[in-house]
A and B are shown apart, each in its own frame.
Chain A
């Protein structure tokens, strides 16, 4: 029987001991002595979140199909265990073998959101691995980062030996082979890193030198050895038909955030919303084959016993075989104890019909994401959702028995005016009024419209990457304007307004567009107790603000400063395939309130066509 790394006495006094014992259904069991490479795959947040992540499930099964690799999992110990492990000096371990992480060849850390950065340092500290890549030896694993935040790895560049830029399915095996070869030849760690740098998509921060202008902006960013390319190419799976997908996902004992099968139907998004990083970096849209998906759904349900299956993509309504797939799933599984859940669908006749089949209309709500309160501002952000779309969709839904609507907006978008802010309340009111316009007999009690706003954070590789971000006070003032207007609405009793915390948005803004100098702040904040910053109950803004002061780094330099179009940006060394010229053009279009058509209507010439596949080459018929 596998013996846990932690003694019973600890496991029985912490919350959810099942987070730390492994042994889940479909866990890969290998003899660590029989493999050449031990890979610890880490999601730097609590198990419940990390186990819900699709990317790790894909790479876990893909790596473990290789006989010479044993891929295991690591998550952040929750704060209760974190304190115990630090006090009793217990090294962090991987779930499968329960062996210390430091004994592994690789520690791979997925970077899904900026607010997990202090948890990376927690993982390193508990593992006994030096924070700085420069201080590591062959006694330590190679620490590699990947995932969306790797598109601007600079704020955490000091902590990583390598970054993998793009989708993990393409060159990871090349990297593992290079590692094996390097170790066989007895090469130094530096030589191995240079070997790795020659693999397309691999970024080795230590092989680049950075200098700054007197005003603090980036002056130069250059390779310091011939092996390191001037531009690192994003990696993409271009053949979705042959791409790897896990048929036996892990089944946790405890109820995790995604306690269901996640069936990825498509990568990328045709819409081109100008604030959305995913919509830019995952271009071009690549659809998966519907017959393959049907087969996968069946296999995955059989192998996990999950009672729910959910479709995953950035915009499921744009998947061209959606009707066929959804009808298949409902006919095959619904009524057999398997729920079909459908996130991010455009509200129209088809989706309302499907929703009425798979959800209890009385208990479910409609979700719209207009993102901005006025048509003018929706044109600025290129969000192709009109007021008519929303009101017609809502009215149809109200006739079908729904009476709850959720609306998502952003505040602080470029060019935003008072009218745009008040538009959030006005749109909410119009939806409520549309409900009360229906004859009384076709209504179902009172309507409830809940509008939520988050604060806009400019992200790298979007047309808004140059934009000024609001200060905390500006954000809160804008939320106040919306809140005030909401109260003035005739149906204000049917409206509810929520807004996001502003402190954490400002910090996310710094981490999103930061450079290498931000690393010192992250380290200082962590040493002073910052951890689990993505969790509002543990986020401590004062610790961060103190860290900025101590390190002499100004958060405003990264947030409220509007960058000039010719400024060298910290992430410019990455080539995502979407050209900077396109982003500049889109930034200009935004300021001129010009809409750019989606990829299926008309090619906008973003540059991604050279990847040779996806929507750029779809048959228009």
Chain B
């Protein structure tokens, strides 16, 4: 587990900054909720008249006047975008950076198999994502307690579980892409995350584009569905997890045979 420890150690500042940024932004929104609660009637009315924009973010099926509905939209967007970009960046850079930073010759001059390196790097990605999500969840819970509201445990944990799995999926896909790259991966990683986010918005707006829900990692993070159904959308989750597994298999397949620069 030497490589795993080194990977987590080298990423600790990045994890801390990302976790605090996302967690504190969600926390700030939650802290603003009591002030906004009284105005929520008019806000709900306003959002309901925004047509496609309303459905794009699932606000047509959420009650913005309740904390759970408010959290689902605000927290969902922040953890969705922030978490996806974080997962994409650490996923795409994990293998690529060894060649890009010319450390591959140092690492692979030691008696470590490629399979071991890939496995420990993959575990470090998952561990980093879990650490980020725990910090964000704790900050969210803290902020809800701070405004004296009751915690909606089931919905809250399901939201965060969905976003955790979404980050695993994006990281897994980017990890697979990473094995093929030597440089220029960061843009590709952010592009994958951004594309998936917007595919979900398109799928929400248009019924004819609904099939995109099976492709984007955000299909099963739809907070309106989670609140209304009380569970994750398995039909979107299964293809998402399959894409993650394919990404990981590609990483092993390519990187174990790759000529390292």
- A and B pair up: no
B residues neighboring A (CB under 8 Å): none
